[in-house]
């Protein structure tokens, strides 16, 4: 009889007990607003920013309402506005082009490789079309950041990093988010720390961060920040920067602080699960695994593989077969966007010329969440089911 997996792909681990206790303390005193604190008290939001800046080796940090807000704020801080063009990955999630469109700018999509990272040759060909690159480390896949930054320097590109899926990851020993002028992180439920929704923004540039702090709704209370630039950095921006309130509240900050202290251990647990899957799927007929570069210290909170050059019907057969056995696969090549999965062709507010080489890859991208509520035995069972179904359909369709 065929194996059936009974786990839940959207069930996260509970908030740590010290996070719950910290949240209860905030609820009991009622000072949820980011600037509401008692005498001699430091707000949870300010402490979170200070701690994450130290953790990432950054001079400055701003905690905000979401990862999308972090990206839009970074773009505004870098001077991006209506009519400007911004380069970004063709393989990403909708909040990335959404952040670009939210400031009135136009995304210019750059192709994807079979390693699921930005195509540096295509980036070089399009580099003269924009002054800013919003680099998305989609699903935790880091490109060669040394080569990318050299290319950016050559073409005068300002790089902002979308690290929604790479909090805790490194390239060549450097934290993800620390190569560009600003790094943007997400604290949404399905990311590496969970506050339901939330984001973090880091930078070493005092002018950019002063603008970001003012944009986040600091009014004239920027002196209460512990991970912000010095007061003089605000002198030339405080009267000319609009308030677009979005700094994080104390409740979410209280939930996040203990989780960030455990980030390294959690990342190691995700990668244990990833390797169980990846090793079991090695040499599966018709399935292309994603090679991970030696310099990439990734965090695998999800798993991807490719069904390259498979027909729509064959891919749907795999998806349906896995689902009947309890394994939920998402398909980025679906002609219609489903839930979180969509591609550049779906974002009609940001029209683009077709990219046949990238379209071939996107058509074959299969994606699966990897929550820490799964045991290693669960991951081994999931891998067996995927391998069974891919092999069955490969033999049936001759894909």
- Evaluate whether residue 5 is within a structural domain: no
- Evaluate whether residue 278 is within a structural domain: yes
- Evaluate whether residue 316 is within a structural domain: yes
Looking at the fold, whether 219 and 336 belong to one and the same domain comes out as no
Q: What average pLDDT score do residues 259-266 get?
A: 97
111-128 pLDDT per residue, tens: 999 999 999 999 999 999
153-202 pLDDT per residue, tens: 999 999 999 999 999 999 999 999 999 999 999 999 999 999 999 999 99
**pLDDT-based confidence at 144, cuts 50/70/90?**
very high
Question: What's the chain look like in SS3?
Answer: CCCCCCCCCCCCCCCCHHHHHHHHHHHHHCCCCCCCCCCCCCCHHHHHHHHHHHHHCCCEEEEECCHHHHHHHHHHHCCCCCCCEEEEECCCCCHHHHHHHHCCCEEEEECECCCCCECHHHHHHHHHHCCEEEEECHHHCCCCHHHHHHHHHHHCCEEEEECCCCCCCEECCEECCCCCCEEEEECCCCCCCCCCCCEEEEECCHHHHHHHHHHCCCCCCHHHCCCCCCHHHHCCCCCCCCCCCCECCHHHHHHHHHHHHCHHHHHHHHHHHHHHHHHHCCCCCCCECCCCCCCEECCCCEEEEECCCCCHHHHHHHHHHHHHCCCCCEECCCCCCECCECCHHHCCCCCCCCCHHHHHHHHCEEEEECCCCCCHHHHHHHHHHHHHHHHHHHHHHCC
Question: Could you tell me what percent of the chain has a pLDDT over 90?
Answer: 93
Looking at the fold, whether 231 and 267 belong to one and the same domain comes out as no
Looking at the fold, whether 123 and 203 belong to one and the same domain comes out as yes
pLDDT at 339: 85
Please give the residue range of the domain that contains residue 359.
263-397
- Evaluate whether residue 163 is within a structural domain: yes
Q: What is the CATH number of the domain that holds 332?
A: 3.90.1150.10
Looking at the fold, whether 246 and 267 belong to one and the same domain comes out as no
**pLDDT-based confidence at 397, cuts 50/70/90?**
confident
Mean pLDDT of all residues belonging to the chain:
96
Looking at the fold, whether 172 and 254 belong to one and the same domain comes out as yes
Looking at the fold, whether 222 and 273 belong to one and the same domain comes out as no
End residue of a domain, out of 209, 235, 261: 261
**Is the model's pLDDT at 388 over the cut of 80?**
yes
Looking at the fold, whether 174 and 322 belong to one and the same domain comes out as no
**Is the model's pLDDT at 51 over the cut of 70?**
yes
Owner of token pair 């469109």: 101
Looking at the fold, whether 26 and 49 belong to one and the same domain comes out as yes
Looking at the fold, whether 47 and 105 belong to one and the same domain comes out as yes
End residue of a domain, out of 261, 290, 320: 261
Q: What average pLDDT score do residues 29-36 get?
A: 95
pLDDT at 34: 94
The domain total for the chain is 2
pLDDT at 399: 52
End residue of a domain, out of 246, 261, 276: 261
Q: What is the CATH number of the domain that holds 198?
A: 3.40.640.10
Looking at the fold, whether 267 and 184 belong to one and the same domain comes out as no
- Evaluate whether residue 211 is within a structural domain: yes
Looking at the fold, whether 252 and 125 belong to one and the same domain comes out as yes
- Evaluate whether residue 150 is within a structural domain: yes
352-382 pLDDT per residue, tens: 989 999 999 999 999 999 999 999 999 999 9
- Evaluate whether residue 10 is within a structural domain: no
**Is the model's pLDDT at 223 over the cut of 90?**
yes
**Is the model's pLDDT at 398 over the cut of 70?**
no
Looking at the fold, whether 272 and 251 belong to one and the same domain comes out as no
- Evaluate whether residue 51 is within a structural domain: yes
76-104 pLDDT per residue, tens: 999 999 999 999 999 999 999 999 999 99
């Amino acid at each position: 009889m065929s194996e059936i997996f009974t786990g839940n792909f959207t069930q996260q681990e509970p908030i740590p007990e010290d996070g719950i206790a910290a949240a209860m303390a905030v609820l009991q005193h009622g000072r949820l607003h980011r600037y509401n604190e008692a005498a001699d008290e430091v707000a949870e939001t300010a402490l979170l920013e200070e701690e994450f800046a130290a953790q990432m080796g950054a001079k400055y940090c701003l905690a905000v309402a979401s990862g999308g807000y972090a990206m839009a704020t970074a773009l505004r801080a870098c001077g991006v506005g209506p009519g400007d063009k911004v380069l970004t990955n063709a393989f990403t999630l909708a909040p990335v082009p959404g952040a670009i469109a939210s400031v009135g700018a136009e995304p210019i999509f750059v192709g994807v490789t079979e390693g699921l990272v930005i195509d540096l040759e295509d980036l070089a060909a399009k580099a003269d079309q924009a002054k800013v690159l919003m680099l998305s480390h989609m699903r935790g896949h880091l490109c060669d950041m040394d080569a990318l930054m050299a290319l950016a320097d050559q073409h005068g590109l300002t790089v902002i990093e979308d690290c929604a899926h790479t909090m805790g990851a490194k390239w060549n020993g450097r934290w993800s988010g620390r190569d560009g002028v600003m790094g943007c992180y997400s604290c949404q439920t399905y990311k590496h720390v969970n506050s339901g929704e939330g984001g973090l923004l880091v930078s070493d540039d005092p002018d950019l961060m002063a603008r970001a702090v003012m944009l986040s709704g600091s009014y004239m209370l920027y002196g209460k920040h512990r991970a912000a630039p010095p007061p003089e950095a605000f002198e030339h921006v405080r009267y000319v920067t609009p308030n677009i309130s979005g700094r994080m509240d104390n409740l979410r900050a209280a939930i996040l602080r203990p989780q960030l202290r455990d980030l390294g251990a959690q990342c190691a647990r995700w990668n244990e699960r990833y390797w169980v899957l990846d090793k079991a799927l090695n040499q599966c007929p018709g399935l292309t695994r994603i090679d991970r570069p030696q310099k990439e210290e990734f965090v695998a909170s999800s798993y991807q593989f490719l069904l390259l050059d498979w027909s729509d019907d064959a891919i749907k057969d795999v998806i349906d077969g896995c689902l009947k056995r309890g394994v939920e696969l998402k398909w980025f090549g679906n002609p219609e966007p489903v839930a979180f999965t969509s591609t550049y062709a779906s974002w009609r507010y940001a029209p683009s010329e077709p990219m046949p080489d990238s379209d071939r890859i996107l058509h074959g991208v299969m994606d699966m969440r990897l929550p820490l509520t799964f045991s290693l035995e669960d991951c081994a069972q999931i891998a067996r089911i995927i391998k069974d179904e891919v092999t069955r359909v490969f033999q049936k369709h001759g894909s």
